Amino acid sequence: MKYITTIDGKEFSVEIIDDRHVSIDGKIVEVDFESVRAQPVFSLIVDGKSYEAYVYEGEEDLEVLVKGRLYHSKVEDERERRLRAASGVDVADSGIFHLKAPMPGLIVSISVEEGQEVKKGDVLLILESMKMQNELKSPRDGVIGRIQVTDGDSVEQRQKLLSVE
């Protein structure tokens, strides 16, 4: 089975040949892969070198922790890859950005108005949580669409706050 695996933006072509062999970018390596029972822990021995990894679902990807460093990964098989290519551009860059609460908290103040133009990095609103005031910023340039909260509102995690169009 062939996969295209992206690690922090860099693509690798990985083929699983059999239980013991994997090829990565055309190079065949011998692997011994075990998963530790009841834990998100995996042990990989590759060419005699031992690696312990924690693997868990992130918000949008699979997160792999190896030797104290976190890698964001995305694994697609060839069919998924073709489907995605056929569907055209990634929506993330062109569509509407919905600002969602990263954690439950209290809206302290909203720094923008509907219809206002914003630049990437502009503060959109301030959310108080865990006794700290946190500035939520715009990830890109755009115009503020609908604002769905007001000052003093309590919000749940992932609740939609406003949109940037």
Partner 1 sequence: MFNKVLIANRGEIAVRILRACRELGIQTVAVYSEVDRQAMHVRYATEAYLLGPAPSNESYLKGEKIIEIALKSGAGAIHPGYGFLAERADFAQAVEDAGLEFIGPKPYAIGSMGDKAIARETMMKAGVPVVPGTGGTDNLSDEELLELAPGVGFPLLIKATAGGGGKGMREVKNIEEMPTLLQSARREANASFGNDNIYLEKMILGARHVEIQILADKFGNVIHLNERECSLQRRHQKLLEEAPSAFVDDDLRQRMGDVAVKAAEAVDYESAGTIECLVDADKNFYFLEMNTRLQVEHPVTELVMGVDIVKEQIRIARGRKLSFAQEDIKINGAAIECRINAEDPHNSFMPSTGLISHAVIPTGPGIRVDTGVYAGSEITPYYDSMISKLIVWGETRAQAILRMRRALEEYKVVGVRTNIPFHQAMMDSHPFMGGQFHTRFVEEEFSMEHIAEGKETFPEVAAIIATLVQHEETERAAHVVRRNARDTSNWKWLSRWERLSK
Tell me which residues touch partner 1 (CB under 8 A). 1, 3, 5, 7-8, 10, 12, 14, 16, 22, 24, 29, 31, 33, 35, 39-40, 42, 44, 46, 51, 53-56, 62, 64-71, 73, 75, 77, 102-105, 129-132, 134-135, 157
Nearer to partner 1, 64 or 116 (CB): 64
Closest separation in Å from C-beta 113 to partner 1: 22
Nearer to partner 1, 31 or 148 (CB): 31
Nearer to partner 1, 33 or 96 (CB): 33
Rounded Cα distance, 41 and 32, in Å: 14
Query: What is the DSSP code string of 56-118?
Result: EE-SSSEEEEETTEEEEEEEEEHHHHHHHHHT-S-HHHHSPEEEE-SSSEEEEEE---TT-EE
